[in-house]
Amino acid sequence: DAKTTQPPSMDCAEGRAANLPCNHSTISGNEYVYWYRQIHSQGPQYIIHGLKNNETNEMASLIITEDRKSSTLILPHATLRDTAVYYCIVGAGGTSYGKLTFGQGTILTVHP
Amino acid sequence: DAGVTQSPTHLIKTRGQHVTLRCSPISGHKSVSWYQQVLGQGPQFIFQYYEKEERGRGNFPDRFSARQFPNYSSELNVNALLLGDSALYLCASSRPGQGAREQYFGPGTRLTVT
């Protein structure tokens, strides 16, 4: 699985958009970008994933650059409950096997 | 729908003992994965099972073993516990026909080895 690089921490004001970057310059053609978050003392929570097109769901939007070497997770209107560690993970999208390789992630703190 | 459930929630064991952790996946999910999360670090992959067969194993010693039952629930066993095995043990499930990396995690079992 390709390696990812994320900033260790970010701050965001409540109600504003939170834009979390991720670099994955060695990503290969069949590898997806996955985002998870982990709120303190809970298990990680799946947010969104994508291959090359931008994706949006009820939680967030995922913007992947055309060369696929980086991506940005966007929380459009951050709330205090979005304070968490956010993990960007890259891996092939197999249906029967697929481990998640977590790095250190980005600690997002949303301020009132 | 019920999420992934794990038992027990907390556990305290002594060095050298054995422990069994249990996981029930979301209904309809056939793949179960186990992760270890030491304080301050991201989760580390231990095992993945799909249709009762081991499909992947992380870099953990043979003291760690797991199995998946016909109802897709799973057990993680750790023998000869060491202080360093103290961690949050997470179970995750994913559904067939969907990417195995789209995983849904349980709340974890907090294991303390003294």
CA triple A13-A34-B53, angle to 5 deg: 140
What pLDDT does residue B21 have? 98
Greatest Cα pair distance in chain A: 42
Q: Are B51 and B67 in contact (CB under 8 A)?
A: no
A5 pLDDT above the threshold of 90: yes
What pLDDT does residue B102 have? 86
Taking an 8 Å cut-off on Cβ atoms, the answer to whether B101 and A32 are in contact is yes
Q: Are A51 and A62 in contact (CB under 8 A)?
A: no
Q: How far is A35 from B112, CA to CA, in rounded Å?
A: 29
Residue of B nearest to A103 (CA): B42
Residue of B nearest to A88 (CA): B42
Residue of A nearest to B89 (CA): A43
Taking an 8 Å cut-off on Cβ atoms, the answer to whether A43 and B92 are in contact is yes
| Contacts with B41 from chain A: Cβ below 8 Å | 104
Q: pLDDT digits over A7-47, tens only?
A: 999 999 999 999 999 999 999 888 899 999 999 889 999 99
Distances (CA, A) of B3 to A67, B25, B27, B106: 36, 7, 8, 7
Handedness of CA A73, A43, B89, A97 (dihedral sign): negative
